[in-house]
Structure 1
Amino acid sequence: MASALISALSVLLCALALILYSSPAAAQADLALDCCLTVSHKVIPKHVLLTYRKQFRVDGCPRDAVVFITRKELNLCAPPAAEEHWVKETIKFLDTRLKMCKATKFHVCNSPQIHHSFTVL
């Protein structure tokens, strides 16, 4: 009788663990977001940048930001374009360069990695 009770409890605990592990909340808790916690207001030289992506609070990050990716694959966090004029101008520069690279099938781009790295999210 006691062993049957222990077996039933074991099955119940395993089922409960499986349900909790497969729930959407538990699945999202396992995802590690790569978010900027702080931003720098220092102007970043355009010639070191490859691309950028935008970070939003609604996606689970603590603040809105623009993440600039350098040629050395460093992520540099800047405030949103609405807060800093230089961020807006840098985004415009990168977007223009991307269009030019695409228009010339990346022949004018000075890095063989540019066509792989130029994804704007």
Structure 2
Amino acid sequence: SLLTPSEGPSHGGTALTVTLTTYEPLPASADASAVYTTCKFSHISISGVEIKEVVEGVYTPAAGAVFPTVRCLMPGLPVDTVPSGNVSVTVSLNGLDYTDTALTFTALRFSVVG
């Protein structure tokens, strides 16, 4: 699978696209509107605790030579997160079973200089 973009601001709002190059649990005839697509974001807080957040996504089935995709918005990271860091991204097409391999999104915390 591929994640684009691979980095963005830690305050959230980045539209992510996961291209499912090796994960196609739905037949091509499946009704995309009936799919409960979610993206799970996991990261480690400053105190060493793993924080997970699940958001709804939008599934687009494969068409021709194009792989299926999942689009979702990166949530904002809490203030107790390291200044910049990696966030693991996994996706599910049923809200329960997530991709085995996590993709990495680099969350960048920007400073305002006055």
So what's the TM-score if we normalise by structure 1?
A: 0.22
| Highest RCO, 1 vs 2 (Cα 8 Å, sep ≥ 6) | 2
Answer with 1 or 2: which has the greater Rg: 1
**When you count strand as a share of all residues, which structure comes out higher?**
2
